[in-house]
C-alpha cells in the first residue's frame, strides 16, 4: 500500500491510537478536573503547572514558554470543545501529558469558534519530533469521537482520564 493511501485512510492514526497506552505518560498529578482560569493564557499556565508536576519536567516557566510559542503559530483549539496545546522543550526529559477540564468553557480561538472544555497538553524533548506527532495523531483520533468527549466531560475521578488514555 502506498504511503498516501495509508495517510488518506487514517490507518497510521488508527494504529497509533490502538497501540499506544498514553496513560504511561500522565499521572494523577497531571490531571485537573476543574481548571479555574477563564482565559487562554491562564489555561496554558495551569496546564504548564500540571505538566511540571512530572519528574520529566525541570522548569514550569520553560513549559509555559514552549506552549505559548506553539500557540502563537496557530491555535491548538481543534474544535468540538477540545484543545491540544503542545510543545517541545530542552527542559523536558521525556514525553509528558496533562489533562485539564473547564466546566464553563474557555475562548481558546478554536477553529470552530466554540468554547473549549477539554484540554490535553503535551510536552516532549526537543528531539522527539516523531513521537510528538504520533501522540497528536492518536489523541486527535480519540477526541473526534463524541462518546469519548462525553466520557471526559462526565469523569468524576482522575482514574477515568487515565483509563481513557489507555483506550478503555
Total structural domains within the chain: 1
User: Which of 108-117, 134-143, 152-161 shows the lowest per-residue confidence on average (mean pLDDT)?
Assistant: 134-143
Q: Would you state the pLDDT for residue 20?
A: 67
HSE, side-chain direction, 13 A CA sphere, residue 117: 13
Q: Whole-model pTM? A: 0.87
**How large a percentage of the chain has pLDDT more than 90?**
76
Helices (H), the chain: 3-8, 11-19, 40-51, 60-73, 129-143, 146-154, 158-165
Rounded CA-CA distance 151/108 in Å is 21
CATH number assigned to the domain comprising residue 19: 3.40.930.10
pLDDT, tens only, 32-89: 999 999 999 999 999 999 999 999 998 999 999 999 999 999 999 999 999 999 999 9
Range of the domain at 62: 3-165
Q: Which residues contact 19 (CB under 8 A, 6 or more apart)?
A: none
Active-site residue numbers?
86
Mark residue 16 as left, alpha or beta (left: phi above 0; alpha: psi -120 to 50; beta: remaining).
Answer: alpha
Going by pLDDT thresholds of 50, 70 and 90, the confidence category of residue 155 is: very high
Does the structure show a pLDDT above 50 at 16? no
| Average pLDDT over every residue of 141-166 | 95
Amino acid at each position: 500500500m502506498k504511503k498516501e493511501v495509508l495517510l488518506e485512510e487514517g490507518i497510521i492514526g488508527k494504529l497509533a491510537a490502538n497501540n499506544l497506552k498514553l496513560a504511561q505518560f500522565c499521572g494523577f498529578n497531571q490531571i485537573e478536573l476543574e481548571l479555574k482560569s477563564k482565559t487562554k493564557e491562564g489555561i496554558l499556565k495551569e496546564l504548564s503547572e500540571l505538566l511540571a508536576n512530572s519528574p520529566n519536567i525541570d522548569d514550569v516557566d520553560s513549559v509555559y514558554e514552549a506552549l505559548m510559542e506553539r500557540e502563537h503559530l496557530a491555535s491548538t483549539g481543534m474544535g468540538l470543545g477540545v484543545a491540544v496545546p503542545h510543545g517541545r522543550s530542552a527542559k523536558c526529559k521525556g514525553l509528558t501529558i496533562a489533562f485539564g477540564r473547564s466546566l464553563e468553557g474557555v475562548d481558546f480561538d478554536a477553529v470552530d469558534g466554540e468554547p473549549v472544555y477539554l484540554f490535553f497538553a503535551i510536552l516532549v524533548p526537543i528531539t522527539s519530533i516523531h513521537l510528538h506527532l504520533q501522540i497528536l495523531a492518536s489523541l486527535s483520533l480519540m477526541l473526534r469521537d463524541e462518546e469519548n468527549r462525553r466520557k471526559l466531560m462526565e469523569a468524576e475521578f482522575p482514574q477515568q482520564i487515565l483509563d481513557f488514555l489507555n483506550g478503555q
